[in-house]
Structure 1
Amino acid sequence: MRPPDDRRRRFEDLYRANHDPVLGYVVRRTSNGHDAADVFAETFLTVWRRLDDVPAGEKARPWLFGVARRVLANHHRGERRHTALTARLASELSAIQHLREEPADMDALAEAFAELSDGYREVLSLADWEGPSAAEIGIVLGCSTTAVRIRLHRARRRLARALLEDPPRRTARAQVQEGDPV
């Protein structure tokens, strides 16, 4: 490992020599200046952390472009996740708003939810009300992340199917299950 002053001097030399080319590379591959600044900063933060891995001489710039490319890939993945999450939340909020506008739908939802098995109600409650990840739900329920995802999928599918049924059929089925006369 180099002494601190040599390390700092090497980083500053790399930064000065490659600032404009790396910044241009990043700016052309991002949608706005803020994203470009973030990716550029993360690129040189990585360079600082891995300074001993940076090749000497003319091989340094291609190595820096490689780092910038990987930082950009992470940035774009994050943007896609953010966009998908935003769309999902907008859809869920729209559905919640729709349910609030029509109280009868809320009653139907509560009735359909009550008809689910305890296990399906628990996994839905955890996922949709408490908000932990599938791995965290797995810890709570004592099962694997894959099992949580499968249970959650099945529970949502059964809840959706129950909501599509006619209310009289659903009520009659619930009464039969409880032992009440139809």
Structure 2
Amino acid sequence: MERGEEWFTRLFAAHFEAVVRYAFRRVFDAGVATDLAQEAFIVAWRRRDDVPVRELPWLYGVARNVIANHRRGKAPPVVPHETALRAGFEDTSAEMVDVLRAISALPERDQEILRLVAWEELELREAAVVLGCSKSAAAVRLHRARKRLQAALGEYREVEHV
């Protein structure tokens, strides 16, 4: 298949907004998220022969690496302010903010698998592509992350109600 400008224009039109949302949910800054998404598409253009038929999980994997490169050398990420936590979500209830806070307290590895499955609505095999692991490894990560999230939510709610 020819992967020229027409192919890239279609790829960009089909997935740019999704990649921006993916980045935003990790950096909580719309301008930075847009810049990072653009960088991911530059990589896609350069590696156009490597882009599989199921493009979006592959693009998320590229964006994940771009975000990791962006974070290197910077201060550790802080728990986002409640306004940032609510941004980009239709459900802005207090319960959703509790879930988002609990997720942000988890290790990055757990956060990412939960985001991929819940926020990006990827199937487990697609999440595995993003993470660069097997489907069974992604399943184990998801199971463990859900258990830790449940525990974090329980602890968080106990502290709030004391």
- The TM-score range, normalised by the shorter chain, is 0.3 to 0.5
User: TM-score by structure 2 length?
Assistant: 0.43
> Could you say which structure has the larger radius of gyration?
1
User: TM-score by structure 1 length?
Assistant: 0.39
